[in-house]
């Protein structure tokens, strides 16, 4: 168990950073329909005497997910589509939050995760929000599953598009709850993908974490170029957390990207995990330490470290030429601000910006989970304006 150091936000579990940051992630989903504050409070109250017991975490979140699923199914049976959609969103989000600490990923974990995927699909099918397509992006010897969300209000037959990757332990659906509806209202379409090492891509398709993320990024661009309803020549990439590495590397290695947003900095992810493993995982982790072995298909921490040896941005981001925005929290307890400044200074783009969110304004924690409403408009406005300023192809 790792206590929170010098935190600028109140924590449900002050003696356990991992549980607290995950609860903050869950709370952040409430603003987009992925959670209900009262339900989260019930879960937290039941867990407060068992902090650090990941089996209890799993059971409580699954129980709430099951309870809300019953509400969704009753509403759907009565033809109440909007109500059912609302309940299915929370069913999905709670299932994903439950499964994130479940290691090994046993049959029960896979069942709960599949519930999340299925419930989210039902929510989008029954809902009255933006048009969402569930798509397959060709990738090596298979496909990456994704969500394609159409731009709203742009008036363009072929609007610009943002490729939205996730982080170390997120997924394409949680990207939705982190603001895709707000993003597409700015006149850009969005492709949110489960990529190697995350989401369905690893759980059901066997695509493990890899350092050369430009391969998945190039596949996403190839897919977008095959569509007639977006302008793939005006494509940006955006990603949170470890996605700060994915996006930065992809934009440096794949010149077709016209803008890049790192939603949280990375610099030397191999060094980050060296420190975590040397400390016997007594560090500020988002998930159990064994998650690294699972995501890289390694049998030991040492083998996992070898497999992420390429996760370094020095010597890579100097090649970037597209506009670049880096947003980071001053009290990020996983990745220090010094790493953010190293990344910013090394990026080769002439047009680059860094935004460090403070505790006073909000958004000071990892990926700004303590106040997404302050941070996401900065990123979404920036990327939409950069893309809209480009000449359509």
Q: What are phi and psi of 239, to 5 degrees?
A: -160, 145
Distances (CA, A) of 266 to 34, 177, 217, 314: 27, 23, 17, 10
Residue 257 is encoded by which pair of tokens? 């990207």
Question: What is the DSSP-derived secondary structure letter of residue 138?
Answer: E
Question: What is the DSSP-derived secondary structure letter of residue 260?
Answer: E
Q: The tokens 């950069």 sit on which residue?
A: 386
Does residue 104 have a cis bond before it (omega within 30 degrees)? yes
Residue 283's pLDDT is what? 79
Pairing of the two strands 257-263 and 324-329: parallel
Residue 369's pLDDT is what? 95
In whole angstroms, give the CA distance from residue 290 to residue 356: 30
Q: Name the residue among 213, 235, 219, 236 with its Cα closest to residue 316.
A: 213
In whole angstroms, give the CA distance from residue 306 to residue 150: 40
- Taking 50 as the pLDDT cut, the residues of the chain under it are none
pTM greater than 0.85 (yes/no): yes
Q: Name the residue among 59, 61, 83 with its Cα closest to residue 72.
A: 83
Residue 335's pLDDT is what? 96
In whole angstroms, give the CA distance from residue 248 to residue 201: 21
Residue 1's pLDDT is what? 54
Domains and CATH numbers, the chain: 14-128 (1.20.1440.110), 131-268+311-393 (3.40.50.1820)
Residue 265's pLDDT is what? 98
């Amino acid at each position: 168990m790792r206590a929170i150091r010098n935190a600028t936000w109140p924590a449900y579990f002050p003696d356990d950073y991992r549980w607290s940051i995950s609860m903050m992630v869950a709370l952040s989903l409430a603003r987009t329909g992925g959670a209900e504050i009262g339900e989260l409070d019930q879960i937290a109250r039941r867990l407060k005497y068992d902090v650090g017991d990941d089996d209890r975490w799993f059971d409580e979140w699954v129980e709430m997910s099951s309870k809300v699923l019953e509400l969704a199914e009753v509403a759907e049976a009565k033809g109440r589509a909007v109500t059912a959609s609302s309940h299915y969103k929370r069913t999905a989000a709670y299932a994903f939050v439950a499964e994130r600490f479940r290691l090994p990923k046993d049959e029960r974990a896979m069942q709960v995760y599949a519930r999340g995927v299925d419930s989210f699909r039902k929510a989008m099918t029954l809902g009255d929000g933006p048009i969402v397509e569930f798509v397959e992006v060709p990738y090596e010897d298979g496909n990456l599953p994704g969500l394609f969300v159409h731009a709203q209000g742009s008036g363009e037959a072929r609007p610009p598009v943002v490729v939205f990757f996730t982080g170390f332990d997120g997924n394409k659906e949680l990207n939705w709850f982190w603001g895709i509806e707000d993003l597409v209202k700015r006149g850009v379409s969005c492709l949110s993908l489960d990529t190697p090492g995350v989401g369905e891509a690893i759980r059901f398709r066997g695509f493990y974490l890899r350092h050369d993320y430009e391969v998945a990024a190039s596949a996403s661009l190839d897919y977008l170029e095959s569509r007639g309803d977006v302008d793939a020549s005006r494509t940006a990439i955006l990603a949170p957390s470890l996605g700060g590495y994915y996006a930065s590397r992809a934009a440096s290695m794949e010149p077709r990207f016209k803008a890049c947003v790192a939603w949280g900095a990375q610099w030397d992810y191999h060094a980050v995990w060296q420190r975590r493993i040397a400390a016997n995982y007594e560090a500020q982790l988002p998930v159990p330490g064994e998650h690294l072995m699972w995501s890289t298909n390694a049998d030991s921490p040492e083998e996992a470290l070898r497999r992420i040896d390429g996760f370094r941005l020095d010597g890579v981001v100097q090649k970037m030429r597209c506009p670049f925005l880096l947003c980071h929290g001053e009290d990020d307890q996983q990745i220090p601000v010094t790493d953010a400044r190293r990344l910013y200074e090394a990026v080769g783009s002439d047009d680059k910006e860094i935004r460090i969110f403070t505790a006073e304004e909000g958004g000071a924690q990892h990926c700004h989970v303590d106040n997404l409403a302050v941070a996401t408009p900065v990123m979404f406005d920036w990327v939409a304006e950069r893309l809209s300023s480009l000449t359509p192809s």
